[in-house]
Amino acid sequence: MQRTWFITGASAGLGRLMTEKLLERGDRVVGTLRRAGALNDLVERYGDHLRIVTLDVTDTAAVRATIEGAFRAMGRIDVIVSNAGYGLFGAAEEVSDAQIDRQIATNLTGSIQVIRASLPHLRDQGGGRIMQVSSEGGQIAYPNFSVYHATKWGIEGFVEAVAQEVTPFGIDFILVEPGPTATSFASTMDDAVPMQIYDDTPAGAVRRGVFDGSFAIKGDAAKCADAMIAAADAERPALRLALGSTAYASITTALADRLQKIEQQREVAMSADRSGD
């Protein structure tokens, strides 16, 4: 059965791959991008199966108007894919105020507003699915990505809460958590001006690893896109979808470590209750 998708950040990376694969199987896609013309080849190939809209997700009014227009034009949208985002690279002390503001406005606030704008339409049509592209960095953290992690941990908390709010309306969520994957992510990162004081710290080590190629990138972007589409097609997908061996290993290790440490604090936690309760 043909399905209709709305995908932000459709011009490159996982968004582009998903768009290509969905159109190839006969689905309809509304794809948003910031650079006009980036998907002209797909428009020529698939015609009215692909609707292109220029959108900056930091413009909340435009997000609402674009999503309203997409539902009006398509009649029904089955899956919202909130994919637009990028990485900010630098130690917390190195990044500028403007870089922080832009990162949060795009990755966190932009994603929140895409979800908020979609909910009334999904509710009115009797349900649907929202796929939020997060990262293994929504559950673990690397030095030099502190603000990026703040946005990904933040959107995961937001989705966890909203998913509970809208379950009665037939709306469900998938948080996608890829590990390091061969996409355009690294080439589109916003880099802070490095401070020499961090050269011999974990932040400096990660910086060298990224720029000399020794930071392992094991994820296959096409396989990730296939797994995302399969999850969105599933009758009852899990809330979280970890993608790649790096993501699986890093997330399971982090969760096990957190569980062990909280268990060690049980007596202290219990002692903080009011007496008699």
Among all residues, which ones are annotated catalytic? 134, 148, 152
Q: Which two tokens stand for residue 174?
A: 């998938």
In degrees, to the nearest 5, what angle opens at C-alpha 42 toward C-alphas 228 and 24?
Answer: 50
Question: What's the token pair of residue 38?
Answer: 């980036």
Which residues make beta-bridge pairs with 6? Answer: 30, 80
DSSP secondary structure string for all residues of 218-276: -B-HHHHHHHHHHHHHSSS--SEEEESHHHHHHHHHHHHHHHHHHHHTHHHHHHTSPTT
Residues 211-246 as b or e (16 or more Cβ within 10 Å = b): eeeeeebebebeebbebbbebbeeeebeebbbbbeb
Helices (H), the chain: 13-24, 40-46, 60-74, 97-103, 110-124, 146-166, 202-212, 221-233, 245-264, 266-271
